[in-house]
Each structure stands twice: as structure tokens, then as C-alpha cells.
Structure 1
């Protein structure tokens, strides 16, 4: 069953990924008379929404924007593309392909979710099922807007279902203030919270009530609404539906699906293809490992691409005795013939059993319980409750075989949480957002560049990415972010 679902997901993603957002083509329009007629139609449409949303991770575009832009990772490959170099040097232009891909993936998800939500109440079928579909669609729409508002700032908002280019042209697709975007995000999530089941969903590629609460907590934290964040995060913790796994390594190696710590994940299958011949695996094993032709770490001695590899600074960020380091990064590559060569590379989410490194089967974790614990510690600390926050960061440190922290004042605990999140969530797409949320991006990243004697830096306007120029060309109502 899972293979069939993944195949449907990939086919749907392929269908939508070829189209510019709101550039409607008659052959891809869905007729009200021919679809959205029964429960099965809405279930199929929801699978399509998940497919588009998972494209953020399957393509690794979100990792280029949230990891390669930071002090966590860098390009090792000798011939990177201009778009990759822009991400690595925080010099992103409005024509950057990765930024446009993320913009489009989010807006595709938003558009598909809106299609479901605008039609579902007109069709009669089981109310419990209908509520679940609505809740999941609202969750995916909110999560997509959450990515967009943090990356691009002001973005378009629409709750319309378009069936013609004329309707698109007449619609208000100007950039809306980020405050309005957050209102929509919170409206969707608070509604989804009431519609989704409170019981744990076994398939953690789908959202349940606690998934929504976890995201609500992150949204409130980002808005510095600490009281509201504390309430939602504590509800997830008190539900006891999740717990830390004993061995950190199991979170990002083969067989890591539906773990006790996982709140939301994306699953992959290696050696499987959709009807168009495209793989159902991921490309993390290629991106995170060196571009060395004589490398002998994969079956068949395949080489990596060296596009998103750990910085030396990151490898030094682990405390002595941190059990996470040995299962997250390495600097010794086995070569054909048995010798080893110095080269830094990632271990998390790398499928060392894959014959093709571009076809990995390891699941990617979007939300997990350790994130909840560290967010809750951050919230308590910002409320002036540093002593109360320490047990939550210490749970994560205990799993990493590190000593408990004690007696830290608020400012010191802020830095401790920053360091803890950096090594705990390497390659999980958190670093850029963490630094932006805490107002530390320029201080941390510019110090990193200076230490490397690099002549570039993050300027004020670069805390937001540019609106893709191709989207402005398609929709002149969009206006470019300042500085670009």
C-alpha cells in the first residue's frame, strides 16, 4: 500500500511541478462536473496536496535555503552552479532557481488546499472523514504559508478557486503584510486543531491534532507570543504521544519510519519508480557526501556531489563526548583500495545501502519531539523561567551523553539553546529559521564568514529572500523586496 501511495504522490508532484503558479493550462484544469464528487475524489486530491508539499524536501530545495545559507554547511564540489554559490555565499538574486522552486511548491500546495476547502462542504459524505480532510488541507496550507512568510516576508493571499486566466487577472494577488499572513496561518491551524483526531496517527506522513499543535507552538514562538507557545507545546508534551528514541542514530538511518520521536515525516522508497520512470527515493546521499570518484562508501563505489557538506566550524561545534557527532558527520572517506582521505561529509539521512546515492530510502523528519522540548525550553527561558527550562534541554543532552546544564542565566541559556539546536538538527532545515527567529543571523553568519576570511556578509535586506523575478514577470502585481 505504501508503495502505491508514494507512486501516486510522485505522479501528482510531476503533474504540478511543470506549471507556473496560476499560469493555468486547460489540459490541467479540473472540472467541477468531473471531479470533487465524492469522498474518494477528495482523498485523492489530498494525496496530491501532500505530494506537492513533500516536494520541498524531496528536491532538497528547502535545505539549500535553510542549511547551505548558514554556518552549518558549504559547497565542496569544484564546479557548483551559480544558484548554489548564491545560497552558499548569501548573495541570492531574484533569478535563483532554488528560491523560485520553494516559492512555487508552497503556492502549489496553497492552491490545491484551497481547491479542496472551497468544494468539500458542497459534497455529502461521512462528516468525520470530511473533517479530517479539511483539517489536513488547512494544516498543509498553513505550513506552506509559514515557510513563505519566514523566507519572503509579504506574500500573496487568496482564498479563491480559479477556473480561468481572466479570474486570475482580476484577483487581488498583491503582496499582503506578513501580519495578515500570520492571521491566516493561525486561523487555519486553530481550525485544523478542532477537526483532526486527538489520537495518534500511525502513519506519520499525515497530520493529526498533535501535529497541528506542534506547528502552532512553533508559529507562536516565531511571533514571540510566548504564553500561547507555551500552552501548545506543553499540550503536546503532556499528551505523551511522543518520546525521545534512545539512540540518536536511528533518527536518520535505514528503517527510521514512524518512530516514537517523529511528529511529521516524508517517506521514500529506493529502487522504485513512478509511471514516468522517476525515482521514489531522495537525493540526500548525493548532496551530503563528497564528489570523489575513488570513494568506496556506497555499493558500486558511487560518488557523491559534495553540494551540502558540513563546515569545519560545524564539526567543532560538538562538545567533547557528544554522541551525535560520530553519527552526524565524518571527515575520513574510505577509498577504493582501502586507504582513507580527509574530506568532510554528512552521515544523517545518507543511505549507505543505496546502489544509486540519488535514490535513497531514508525518511526525512520535518517535526520531531526533540524540537518540541527545545522550543519549550526556549519559551520558558524567554518568560524569565530559566531554571524551569533547564530540564527540557537536559533531556536532549542526556540522550547525547552530555552532562546536564545548571545555573544558567537567561542570556547564557539562550546561547546554550542555540548551540544545542545547531548540532541536534543538522540537515533538518532549522538553522536559518532559528537564527532569524532569535535575531542572531547577521551576528553569527558574518562572524563565520570573517573567520574564514571571506569577503561577503549578510546585509539587512538579505534576512528575506527575493521574490522570484519569473513570478513578478507572470504577475506584475507582485513587487520586489527592498534591496534586490
Structure 2
């Protein structure tokens, strides 16, 4: 299946099948937790199973998850490079790290991510039971491989953002199915994520559509998880699998900004004018003050030819005498809201391997520098030279800072390396994870709030 609009395909498919839960009209009047609510779905044959899977992708592309706002906005604001200039103050709490359990963005993001978990759980539970329904073993394996990967991504994001989460591995059929389920800590969740990815790696077919799960996407994902779990040799090995694949390559920033599904993307979510993201309306506008704005410090870094290099194309100054220090990012510049979401890019694999090579028991600093400089040179930045592991690691951190300036990496990078206090001044480590949303605590008294909230 080539590049296509996922939600439009669902609309033209079996309209009665859906994995999207109806959003609560009132934030505080609906205590049911999303991971405890059943999806109205019927998976009975190959066609309905495919439609169900597309529903999970649709949930992944929800505006509150990877559709341009919500989860991504929270993480980007927490990373210290963006400022909030809108009127909704619950966003600004991520800049100041004063978020609370009743934060609307956290609640909406938590719900959106759990819809992906629950939808994937339905497929994982039901597809193996389909017999004599026109579903071949190859189709069955592909459906399951994609579902395991989607569940892994959602649970990975929940764990790195909230730390301690209920690890739900079965579909919910009624509101009390998993009431009382104890939370798992971050490392326990990461272990389950890797287990799901191991299964997916064995199941997934020879699919080359980068808008859906592919084997290289699973490799890239495993490299990231191994980086987070400090398994340096495995992080290096899986990143190397992606880098060695000739289907991918580091392309110019102009190509990334002007195109879609370039050789840079390992897994990219597609949007269109019929299936819009919310990037442009939240991030970019010359006509009115955008609500998510790059900081002046970030603007200066990206425009510095020795730091940003070709990445100066990611940002512009649209200041006027009436609007000073008014900067707009250009990664998500399309006014028809068909900007893609970059889940995994090749540049990340180079920087993962560079960091892993620097940190493993017997460091490979020459290899680490080669990977770091591949990303720098692509952006017309001079090679970095050093024989100090500490200096190389700081250079990698800085390179990730500008390379992923508008992608949700910076906050998680500083938290996983223990540097959020030093770099951002967030000395209270309890603020390095978000509070469990109020709604879920009200729905299930067995849930325990994260310390400090």
C-alpha cells in the first residue's frame, strides 16, 4: 500500500467499524478512564481486521498525540526551546514545569495515547482467532506485527512521559475490566515494549510503505529503546541495521522541508487536505501570533552558521515594530495542514549510534565522531574533533538539540541523561515525569499518583 490518507481510507471502508472513542464533552464530568472503556469494534474477517488496524493508525494521528498538538506540544514546551504565547495557560505550565493532575493537555494526551493501546489490544487478541475468513498467514502476521509495534509505541510514550502506568495488555470490554490493575514502573514498561517489538520483528513482512510499520521502523524503534535503557551494544547494532539499508539516506534540509516520504524518513505519518494535522494552526503563522513559538535563543542557534548551518531554513524572523522577537518555525509550514509527522528519521539513528559508541564499555570514539559528523556535515557544519568522551557526548547532546529543534526529543533527552536539572534548572526530579491525570485517579482509586503531585 503506497502513501495514502489513513483516515480517509477508513471513511470509505467499513464505516461502522471504529477504534476512536468519543471524546468527553466535559473534562470533569466523565470519570471513566480511557484504558478501561471498550472500543465498539467487530473484527470478523480480513477486511474488518484491516479497517480496525487503520483505525489504530488514525488514533495515532489524533491531534492530541502525533497530529501536531497535545502530547507533542507538552513535550516540546517542557524541553525549554519553545515559548507559549497563546491564551490557554495550561500549556504554559510545561514551560514553567508547574503542571498539575488537572492539566487539560495531559488529560487529553493520556486519553489519546490509550486509545492506540486499546485498539492495538483488540487486534492482537482477535486476529489470531480468525479462521477460514480469507485471511492468509502472511496477512495475519502483518496485522499482528503492526499492532504490536503500535502498542509498543504508545506504551513507550506513556512510560517516558508519566513514568508509572497501568500496563494493559488485553482489550477492554467494560469499564471495570482492569480496575485495580497495579502500575508498572518505567523500566518494566520498557521491557514489555521490547517484548512487543521482538514479536513484531518476527511477524512483519516485506512492506516498504514508510507511512506504516516496516521492519526498518522496528529496528529504528528498538535502537531508541535500547538507548533509553542504556543497552549500548544493542542500540548500536539496531541503529546500524537502519543506517546500512540503502533505501535510506541523509538528504538536504531543503528536500526534507519541501517533500514528503523522503529517504530521510524511516517512519512518517501522512496527512492531507482531507485528513489534516493541526501543525500549521498551532505552530506557524505570519498573519497572527502563533501560539507555539520558537524562543529567541533557539532562533539564534539555528541561524548561527557554525551551529545551525543549513538548519537555518527551519526558522524565520517575522518581527515588526509592533511585534518584536516574533519567530516562526518552518518544519510544519504547510497552510493546508498536510504536514507529515516524523516518528523516526535516519539522522536520529546516526546520533543514537554515536552516543552508544561513546558510552559502551569499550568506547569507539572514532566511530562516534564519524556518526556525529555525518549529521553535522549534512547541515553544512564543520566536523567536530575531540579525543574526550565527555566533550563528544556534549557535542551529541547539542547536535540533537538543533537537529530535532521542533520534534519531541529535547525534554526526553535531558531527562534520560539526568541533565534536566543542570540544563533547564528543573532541580526537582519529581517534575521530570508528568502527573497521572485527575480523571483516571477519580475513576480508579487503585491508581497511585506520581510522587510530588
Please, what TM-score do these two structures have when normalized by structure 1? Answer: 0.83
Equivalent residue number for residue 40 of structure 2? 29
Q: Which runs of 5+ in 2 are unaligned?
A: 25-32
Q: Which runs of 5+ in 1 are unaligned?
A: 273-279, 291-296, 447-456
Equivalent residue number for residue 368 of structure 2? 389
Deviations 1:230-258 (A, max 9, x none): 1111112222231111x2132234xx221
- Partners of 1:395 and 1:50 lie apart in 2 by 32
Cα shift at 1:166: 4.4
2:203 maps to which of 172, 191, 195:
195
2:276 and 2:337 in contact (8 A); partners too: yes
- SS at 2:21 equivalent: helix
1:63 and 1:427 in contact (8 A); partners too: no
Cα shift at 1:23: 5.2
2:3 and 2:211 in contact (8 A); partners too: no
112 and 374 in structure 1: CA distance in 2 versus 1, 3 angstrom threshold = same
163 and 76 in structure 1: CA distance in 2 versus 1, 3 angstrom threshold = closer
1:181 maps to which of 175, 189, 212:
189
Equivalent residue number for residue 208 of structure 1? 214
1:369 equivalenced with 2:346 (yes/no) = yes
Cα shift at 1:213: 0.8
Cα shift at 1:164: 2.8
Q: What are the within-5 Å matches in structure 2 for residues 63-462 of structure 1?
A: 63-77=72-86, 80-124=87-131, 125-169=135-179, 172-197=180-205, 199=206, 201=208, 203-245=209-251, 247-253=252-258, 256-270=259-273, 272=274, 280-289=275-284, 297=286, 302-303=287-288, 305-318=289-302, 319-321=304-306, 322-333=308-319, 342-351=325-334, 354=335, 359-383=336-360, 384-446=363-425, 457-462=426-431
- Partners of 1:71 and 1:209 lie apart in 2 by 34
How many residue pairs get aligned? The number is 431
- SS at 1:159 equivalent: coil
176 and 343 in structure 1: CA distance in 2 versus 1, 3 angstrom threshold = same
- Partners of 2:58 and 2:52 lie apart in 1 by 10
- SS at 2:342 equivalent: strand
1:24 and 1:165 in contact (8 A); partners too: yes
- SS at 1:428 equivalent: coil
- Partners of 2:358 and 2:236 lie apart in 1 by 11
- SS at 1:68 equivalent: helix
1:57 and 1:63 in contact (8 A); partners too: yes
Cα shift at 1:22: 4.0
Deviations 1:329-367 (A, max 9, x none): 1223479xxx9965122111111xx3xxxx411212111
13 and 412 in structure 1: CA distance in 2 versus 1, 3 angstrom threshold = farther
